[in-house]
Structure 1
């Protein structure tokens, strides 16, 4: 099974570090919108693709711009929400990484379907501070879900720490922050389950 991981395009929370990390629900910048608009030429989508996105405004905006002219399934899931990397035992979720309320998602992104699997608690807490062992269980659950979709390809629009955590699990090798994707960067991974 092929999964294409895409890091969201440039968000407002990256413009004036570290103060901008305190922004709630930051959107894409103008540059971020341009980056997302280039994705269709780099990774053309088809109607058979499925996009799974984090329940954060900048990821859903990236997916919206990227899939603008393609009628593919778009699913929002807390299983690909922001994740700290590397994991810090006493780490806390920054305001810029808090998950949007389901009502806000339904209002602002009506073309997206909310994933309502068995992970209701993660719609509140997310995966940002989950201990490694708990994350591995959640990640395996997500990868099995992907496999059951029988899609040509699953495209995951998420965050640098989340993508790196999933890639580390899939590849079964140690990765570092040096492996983070740049804004609107992407990588293909083949998952064998």
Structure 2
């Protein structure tokens, strides 16, 4: 199975760092919207494709723009929500990385499926500051569940830290922040 991780387009939270990291629920910028549109040329989707999406507005917007007029399966999951990388023991989730509540997702993105295979605690807190041992267990279970879908290729729209954490977990290679993807950058990993 090929996992294709794609980082979201440019978000408002990146325009005036570090101050902008305190924006709650930032959207894509105009540049981010255009980056998401470019994904249509990079990845030609069909109705058979499956995409897992982080429950953060900028990833949801990226996926919605990219998949416009394509009736593929789109699953919102906290298992691909923001993750601090490398994880810090006393790390705190910034406002820009707080998961959108389920009711808002249902209202604002009614055509998206919610991942029902995760606990309500994960829907509230996500994986951002989770200890490494706990994250590794969840990552293992997530990858195993993806294999059960019996697809050659699965897409994941997520965040730089999350993608790097999964890359490190799957490949066993030691990675750093230098390995972060650019906006709408992507990486393909065989599982």
Pairwise same-fold verdict (TM > 0.5): yes
Q: Which residue of 2 aligns with 1:42?
A: 42
Q: Which residue of 2 aligns with 1:52?
A: 52
Determine the C-alpha separation between the residues in 2 that align with 1:110 and 1:4.
24
Tell me, yes or no, if the aligned pair for 1:25 and 1:56 is still in contact at 8 Å: yes
> Are 2:116 and 1:116 aligned?
yes
> Any idea what SS the aligned residue of 2:120 has?
coil
Question: 1:75 matched to which residue of 2?
Answer: 75
* Residue in 2 that maps onto 1:131: 131
Contact 1:48 1:152 in 2 (8 A): no
Shift of 1:72: 0.2
- Partner secondary structure for residue 36 of structure 2: helix
For 2:65 and 2:152, locate their aligned partners in 1 and report how far apart those are by CA, in whole Å. 21
Ranges in structure 1 where 5+ consecutive residues have no aligned partner: none
1:42-67 Cα offsets, whole Å, 9 max, x none, are 11111111010000000010000111
Matches of 1:24 and 1:100, distance apart in 2? 10
Q: Which secondary structure state, in structure 2, belongs to the residue aligned with residue 121 of structure 1?
A: helix
Q: CA deviation at 1:152?
A: 3.4
Partner of 2:62: 62
In the TM superposition, what is the alpha-carbon distance from 1:81 to its structure 2 partner? 0.4
Where do 4+ consecutive residues of structure 1 move more than 3 Å? none
Distance 2:90 2:190 in 1: 33
In 2, the alpha carbon distance for the partners of 1:127 and 1:114 equals 16
State how far apart, in whole Å, the 2-side matches of 1:118 and 1:11 are.
26
In 2: Cα distance, 1:46 partner to 1:2 partner: 16
| Alignment root-mean-square deviation, CA | 0.8
Q: Match of 1:149, SS?
A: coil
Which consecutive residues of structure 2, in runs of 5 or more, have no partner in the other structure? Answer: none
What is the deviation of 1:69? Answer: 2.3
